[in-house]
Structure formats: structure tokens, C-alpha cells
């Protein structure tokens, strides 16, 4: 990858490089230029989550887009998958989401979608970077007569809600189903409650009062404790916690137990296989998926393909092999039959569809997979040398792998978006897993921390 784009677009602290208005202006200009062609005025969708820095970056992006003779269509606050949907349904040339997903409010990011609603491939991102760093864009500016315009799209949310509702099977209704939603003070704060309400559910919304600074703060998919309490207190059937930009979700069953993304993938895979909808009988997951998922899929007679971490790699594998279900343990699940990208609301609706089809509570459906104890330690690092070149880390990993045998696994990798090395261990008991993970993390800290 180049110098700007990480595994999930450009990301950083707002008002610090690269998340500055100057850089947003350049990204807008470069993206606009990339999609220009003779005899066609491109249109680029621009949307955002609820971060206070969204206004600043949105204005800069739009300014850059219009300066290149391209039109900007503003959809306002909308989940990232909603921006992808708007891009393809309005036949725009590209879509830009301003969001740092599940990160704290001071971070922000820029993610670009192609006209089909898929994330831009690496080579296109590289072209944008080259344009920006060539310092040549001022020479590409059109004349004053050819400048672009900005339009506000008033009904983007309503269109997206109709699209979401159509992913829920027509033969079922959510009437009489009690659902609690944690909207993370983020981009789903209006869309999610309205979608479930319109499908007939009895909806309780939590964390749906964004103020620009409370997004993901002790709420959302990273912090489902409050949601779990509310589900039990309100005797609800199910709870769902979205992240700040709504592309991932974590579910809570009626007993207040939190389900992992892997468990949702397993129960949806089982349901899709039963209905004959699991294309090629394959599910795609990443190296971070729990070993329990592999065992569950094996028992269901379903094949598993494993990719590097990052939904873009999951999606690439799914598209190249004709697979309809894939995702990450974080709750980022892609149902390619319904959408081009991970969508927390669609995932929640598919979990509810499985509950309706099986006529079983979520706690029962979740038993399709046993979750192995997992420990993840993030070690802050100053440098990121190739891990295979550090013998002491390799020795520590091999030692733990020998002790675990087929009762667990080890994964050590760098974060694609932060200066961190992630050490993950799965094992037969919590104590064994924690001890092994701490041991490896200590070695990593000593070597490169």
C-alpha cells in the first residue's frame, strides 16, 4: 500500500495529518479527477457519521470535488453501508464516507466506494495517492464555467430504509418481537430504529443522542454491557449494538449473553444452508476468527476459506469464488446476496430471520458454535519490522503452539490502522490462554515496543 491508505481507507486524528482539511481537499480533487471522462460530468456521493470533525472534512472534500468540475451529492449522516448503497442506486461514479468506524470521536477517516458500491481496489487508491503527492493538481483545474455543483439529497435515509427492509424475508414480520438497539451515538441513530419499527418490532433505542463527541463512548459494538443489561431488564427477545458507522453489529441474546461475529456467521450459515442459499457451500472468514467457527462449520459440512484481516480481503475472496456469506469476528459480516459491503442492520435482520425461521430463541441458535477462550493484547510499537525476522518472537510463538496442539492457536500481526502489534491466543481454558498471550506479548514488547 502507499503512504495514505491503510486497510480501511485513510484514517487518523482529526485536524492532524493526514486527517486535515487540506488533505481532504486533495482527496476530493484527486478522486474527482480519477472519475472524469470526456462528455460526462461525474457525480460523487458524500456522507458522514456523527463526529464533530465531519463538517470540516465534508466541506473540504466537496470543495475539492467541485473545483475539478465534478458534482457532489450530499447525503448527510448515513451509515457507511448506506453511502455505498446510495452510490450504486443513484448511479453515481463514486461515494465517499467520512468516518472512523468504531474509533473514538477525535479520530476520523475517509473511505471511497466505486460506482458499484464496492470499496475502491488498491490500484485506484494508489492512483489517488500519486495524484496527491505529484503536487500537479492545480494544473488540472477546469475553467470557472466548468466548475462542479453541490446538491443535498433529501430522501437518502428513506431510500436506504426501504432497501434494508427488502432484505428481510417477506413471509415474516417482527410484530411482537422486542428489540433493543444500541446506536453508539453514531450514524445508525435514526436509520436503525426506524427500520425495525417499520418492520413491526417493539423497539427500545439506546445511545441515540449524538452530540459530535459521544460516538462510541462506552457504547456500541465495542461496549455491549449496557445493552445486555437493558435486554434482560426489558425482557427483550434480542439486542443489537452497532458501531459508529453502522457497518458492524454485535448481538445479545434474551439471557443477556453477548454473541460474537463468528457465532452470528455460524448461525446464519446454518440457516442459509438449510434454505439452499449458501452458494458453493462455502463461508469466508479471516485469520482472526475463533477456532470454534472452523469446528462448527466442519460439523455443518460447510467449507471455510480464510483470508487476511480486513473486510476488503474477505470481499475479494467472496467475489472471486462466488461465495455469498463471509465476515469477521468483530461483527463485520457481508451478505453478498443483499449488499456490496458489511452492513450491521442487514446482519441484525438476517439473525432475526433465522430466529423466525427456526422459531427458536437466539440463545439456542447460538449453540451451533462453541467459543474457545480468546485473549488479545495490543502492544504499542514504535517500528514495524517484518515479524518473521525477529527470532525471539518466532521462538515464543512456536513454544506456545507446541503446548496447545489442536486445542488452540496463536496469531501475531500488526494493526493496519494503528501503531500496534496484536497478539492473539485461543486455548482450552481462560487461564491457560491468558498466560500464553501475556508471555508472547511480553516478548513482543521487549523486542519492538
What pLDDT digit, counting tens, does each position of 351-387 carry? 999 999 999 999 999 999 999 999 999 999 989 999 9
CA pair distance 338, 326, nearest whole angstrom: 12
- pLDDT tens track for 288-316: 899 999 999 999 999 999 999 888 899 99
Residue written as grid cell 449453540: 367
CB–CB of 69/147 below 8 Å?
A: yes
By DSSP bridging, strand 43-48 and strand 94-98 are parallel
Which residues touch 361 (CB under 8 Å, ≥6 apart)? 237, 253, 254, 355
Degrees, nearest 5: CA angle 406-412-418: 150
Alpha carbons within 13 A on the beta-carbon side of 414:
16
CA pair distance 22, 28, nearest whole angstrom: 10
Whether 1 shows a pLDDT value over 50: the answer reads no
Whether 170 shows a pLDDT value over 80: the answer reads yes
CA pair distance 68, 71, nearest whole angstrom: 9
Whether the predicted model's global pTM rises above the 0.75 cut: yes
Polymer length in residues for the chain: 449
Res 262: pLDDT: 97
CA pair distance 319, 279, nearest whole angstrom: 11
Query: Mean pLDDT over all residues of the chain?
Result: 96
- pLDDT tens track for 215-261: 999 999 999 999 999 999 999 999 999 999 999 999 999 999 999 99
By DSSP bridging, strand 420-426 and strand 374-380 are antiparallel
CB–CB of 82/47 below 8 Å?
A: yes
Q: Which of 293, 334, 291 is nearest to 310 (CA)?
A: 334
CB–CB of 80/111 below 8 Å?
A: yes
Res 446: pLDDT: 94
Q: Other C-beta atoms within 10 Å of 312: how many?
A: 20
Average pLDDT for residues 182-198, to the nearest whole number? 98
CB–CB of 74/47 below 8 Å?
A: yes
* Structural domains of the chain, with CATH: 10-154 (3.40.120.10), 160-368 (3.40.120.10), 374-448 (3.30.310.50)
Grade residue 437 by pLDDT with cuts at 50, 70 and 90.
very high
Q: Which three cell numbers stand for residue 403?
A: 503446548
Res 174: pLDDT: 98
Catalytic residue annotation? 101
Amino acid at each position: 500500500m502507499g503512504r495514505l491508505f491503510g486497510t480501511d481507507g485513510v484514517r487518523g486524528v482529526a485536524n492532524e495529518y493526514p486527517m486535515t482539511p487540506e488533505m481532504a481537499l486533495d482527496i476530493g480533487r484527486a478522486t474527482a479527477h480519477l472519475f472524469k471522462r470526456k462528455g460526462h460530468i461525474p457525480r460523487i456521493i458524500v456522507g458522514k457519521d456523527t463526529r464533530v470533525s465531519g463538517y470540516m472534512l465534508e466541506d473540504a472534500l466537496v470543495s475539492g470535488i467541485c473545483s475539478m468540475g465534478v458534482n457532489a451529492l450530499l447525503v448527510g449522516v448515513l451509515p457507511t453501508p448506506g453511502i455505498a448503497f446510495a452510490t450504486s442506486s443513484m448511479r453515481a461514479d463514486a461515494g465517499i464516507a467520512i468516518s472512523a468506524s468504531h474509533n473514538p470521536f477525535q479520530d476520523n477517516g475517509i473511505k471511497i466506494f466505486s460506482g458499484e458500491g464496492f470499496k475502491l481496489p488498491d490500484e485506484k487508491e494508489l492512483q489517488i495517492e500519486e495524484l496527491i503527492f505529484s503536487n500537479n493538481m492545480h494544473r488540472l483545474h477546469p475553467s470557472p464555467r466548468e466548475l462542479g455543483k453541490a446538491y443535498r439529497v433529501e430522501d437518502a435515509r428513506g431510500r436506504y430504509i426501504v432497501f434494508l427492509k427488502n432484505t428481510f424475508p417477506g413471509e415474516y414480520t417482527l410484530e411482537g418481537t422486542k428489540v433493543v438497539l444500541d446506536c453508539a451515538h453514531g450514524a445508525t441513530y435514526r436509520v436503525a430504529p426506524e427500520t425495525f419499527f417499520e418492520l413491526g418490532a417493539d423497539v427500545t433505542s439506546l445511545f441515540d443522542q449524538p452530540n459530535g463527541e459521544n460516538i462510541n463512548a462506552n457504547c456500541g459494538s465495542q461496549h455491549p454491557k449496557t445493552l445486555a443489561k437493558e435486554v434482560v431488564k426489558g425482557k427483550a427477545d434480542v439486542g443489537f449494538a452497532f458501531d459508529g458507522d453502522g457497518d458492524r453489529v454485535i448481538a445479545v441474546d434474551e439471557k443477556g449473553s453477548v454473541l460474537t461475529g463468528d457465532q452470528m456467521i455460524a448461525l446464519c450459515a446454518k440457516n442459509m444452508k438449510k434454505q439452499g442459499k449458501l452458494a458453493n457451500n462455502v463461508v469466508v472468514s479471516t485469520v482472526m476468527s475463533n477456532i470454534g467457527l472452523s469446528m462448527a462449520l466442519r460439523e455443518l459440512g460447510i467449507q471455510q476459506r480464510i483470508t487476511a484481516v480486513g473486510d476488503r480481503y474477505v470481499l475479494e475472496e467472496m467475489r472471486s469464488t462466488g461465495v455469498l456469506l463471509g465476515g469477521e469476528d468483530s461483527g463485520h459480516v457481508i451478505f453478498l446476496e443483499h449488499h456490496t459491503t458489511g452492513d450491521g442492520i442487514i446482519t441484525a435482520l438476517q439473525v432475526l430471520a433465522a430466529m423466525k425461521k427456526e422459531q427458536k430463541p437466539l440463545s439456542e441458535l447460538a449453540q451451533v458454535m462453541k467459543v474457545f477462550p480468546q485473549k488479545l493484547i495490543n502492544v504499542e510499537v514504535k517500528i514495524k519490522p517484518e515479524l518473521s525476522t525477529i527470532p525471539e518472537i518466532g521462538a515464543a510463538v512456536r513454544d506456545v503452539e507446541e503446548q496447545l496442539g489442536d486445542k488452540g492457536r496463536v496469531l501475531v500481526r500488526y494493526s493496519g490502522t494503528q501503531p500496534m502489534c496484536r497478539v492473539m491466543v485461543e486455548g482450552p481454558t481462560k487461564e491457560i490462554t491468558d498466560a500464553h498471550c501475556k508471555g508472547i506479548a511480553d516478548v513482543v514488547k521487549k523486542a519492538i515496543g
